[in-house]
Amino acid sequence: MAVLSAILLFGNIGIQEILVIALIILLLFGGKKIPELMKGLGKGIRSFKDGMKEVDKDIKSDETSATGKSRED
């Protein structure tokens, strides 16, 4: 499902467009900066996912304490 929404988001973007975008990014940031940028992006995504898991856990614990029952998924 995520792949389909990603395809719809970018429309009819082809290999040539992706290569041009990659070349522009390489020229702007240089070869040494790109791994650092991707590492920072990965840490940000991981932090976001951890935060979402924590929110889900808090919501489930609030539901459990409000109803007095445990909810099995």
From the list 17, 22, 20, the residue with the least C-alpha distance to 34 is 22
Model pLDDT for residues 24-72, shown as the tens digit of each residue: 988 888 888 888 888 999 999 999 999 999 999 988 888 888 776 554 5
What's CA 66's distance to the chain center, in Å? 32
| pTM of the full structure | 0.52
Q: Which of 29, 28, 25 is nearest to 17 (CA)?
A: 25
Per-residue model confidence (pLDDT) at position 38: 87
**pLDDT-derived band of residue 14, with 50, 70 and 90 as boundaries?**
confident
